[in-house]
Amino acid sequence: MFRHPGTITGCWFIGSKELLSLKNVLVFIINFRDTTVYAISTEKHGLPEIMKLLGDIILRPNITEEELQHARQTALYEMEDMEMRPEQEAIILEMMHCAAWNNNTLGHPRYCPQENADKITREEILRFMKTNYQPDRMVVSGVGVEHAELVDLTNEYFNFSQTTWENEGIQSSPVNQEVAQYTGGDMRVSKLHEHKITYR
């Protein structure tokens, strides 16, 4: 969701000038309900450059007000688009989680509620990253590369003392240690004429 030197775009990746200048590079980011995966595929000789960029993307993003505004607009568009589609699988899956884990862990919204879009701030994003983007909550893995080289590059470019949030003195939130509690339940929606969904 960030690019180097740091464009926030909601849920996808826009390549940086440095990354776009490299050949044979595939990049994608997938956000799941409880996990974010940053994946880059490239030729083996490009590993040092890719690891540096990945470290910058994850640990040293720049997040401007213009980028935040774009993210807010994207979040609103995605919610409106999701509600207006004839196929409703994404909304049904969201409702299933909300009903099954009511008000805890996996039951919290995956998508940004429309009423929260304007509450997204740079500080809140960096606070989230400071809280969750920590060594004990991350995995760096590689395929087709030398293990020792990957470890050395990870140690070099994933320096957690030189992150955007550390440099700016952002405080972390308490880490949620809550265990998922299945509650079961019932959730129904009314589809109004203007295609807005209300939960009850």
Outline where DSSP puts E strands in 129-170. none
Which residue's structure tokens are 């304007």? 118
Tell me how many domains the chain contains.
Answer: 1
pLDDT of the residue at 85: 85
pLDDT digits (tens, 9 = 90+) for 66-95: 989 988 898 888 888 888 888 888 888 988
Which pTM was predicted?
0.77
Contacts (Cβ under 8 Å, ≥6 apart) of 6: 57, 60, 61, 62, 63, 64, 67, 164
CATH value at residue 194:
3.30.830.10
Question: Is 150 a domain residue?
Answer: yes
Asked whether the predicted pLDDT for residue 52 surpasses 80, the reply is yes
The verdict on residue 9 lying in a domain is no
Domain interval for residue 177 = 17-199
Q: Is residue 127 part of a domain?
A: yes
Residue 181 maps to a domain: yes
Is residue 128 in some structural domain? yes
Euclidean distance between CA atoms 198 and 189, whole angstroms: 6
φ/ψ (deg, to 5) at 68: -65, -45
* 12 inside domain: no
Residue 8 lies in a domain: no
Across the range 5-24, mean pLDDT stands at: 47
Residue 2: inside a domain, yes or no?
no
DSSP line for 13-24: ----HHHHTSSS
Confidence of residue 192 (pLDDT cuts 50, 70, 90): low
